[in-house]
Amino acid sequence: MTACPCCGSNQFGFSPVLWPDLIREWRLADYEAAYVDRQQGYRCKACHCSLRAMNLAKAIIACLNFRGLLRDLVKARQFRSLKVLEVNDAGELNHFLRLLPGHVLAQYPEVDMTALPYANDSFDLIVHSDTLEHVLGPIAGLGECRRTLKPGAFCCFTIPIIVDRFTVSREGLPPSYHGTSSEKKNDYLVHTEYGCDAWKQIIQAGFEECRIFSAEYPAALALVGVKARGVA
């Protein structure tokens, strides 16, 4: 990443974020812990977006066919009528997305991702970042995203993916929490550990197309479910 796609800065910093218990619970090899740390701990010094958030911004910009930075996209005239649903706070991207007049923030526990309180075909874009792994019933959650998207619209999101293993449920395993080493809230309880087959859930949820964006493999991956035009 030579320049931040959110604000344009070329100044970055890094600070590790993983802690020993989480590395052990997640069964991460040293090289896996290193790229997860980079995904979460490498940040733009100007807008503080993580590598994860910057790659998600790149996916959003590409899907909306915009040439420029995210800070410019949210102010551009052609996007003033864009209807955007942000499911939980997408980290530092929220500071940009909330500038759109059609922005809606749906926060857990007030809003359940598996039962979104919005009409069919409501949104042009849905964004969530490292949320799906905490949802009990992630395919149902993605299905709700598809239902509330307009035909031809996009669900852009990130999940922590360990690329050399398959997706597994943590059902029957000791509780594992993301967030920080001292926080063990239900919001941070992990239900799914995602691997190289994470894309399957997008198709299983009914999306007709899946896209993968990578600013830096394997640390920065973003997934996009595309709802086909001319479908309900």
pLDDT digits (tens, 9 = 90+) for 103-150: 999 999 999 999 999 999 999 999 999 999 999 999 999 999 999 999
Joined tokens for residue 86: 């942000």
Predicted pLDDT at 95: 97
pLDDT score, position 185? 62
Burial of 58 per CB tally in 10 Å (0-12, 13-18, 19+): buried
What is the average pLDDT across 87-110? 97
| 230 confidence band (pLDDT: 50, 70, 90) | confident
Residue 188 has pLDDT above 90, yes or no: no
Question: What is the predicted pLDDT for the residue at 184?
Answer: 61
pLDDT of residue 144: 98
Q: Average model confidence (pLDDT) for the chain? A: 96
- Ranges of H-type helices in the chain: 20-25, 30-41, 51-63, 70-73, 94-97, 138-148, 199-204
168: pLDDT strictly greater than 70: yes
Query: What's the pTM value of the predicted model, to 2 decimals?
Result: 0.96
Report helix, strand or coil for 44: strand
Give me the pLDDT at residue 135, please. Answer: 97
Domain assignments of the chain as residue spans, ordered by start: 16-226
Task: Please say whether the beta carbons of 84 and 102 come within 8 A.
Answer: yes
Task: Return the pLDDT at 180.
Answer: 66
Nearest to 192 by CA among 127, 137, 126, 155: 137
Mean pLDDT of 180-190: 71
pLDDT band at 1, cuts 50/70/90? confident
Calculate mean pLDDT across residues 30-42.
98
Whether omega before 16 lies within 30 degrees of 0, making that bond cis, reads: no
Name which CATH class applies to 16-226. alpha beta
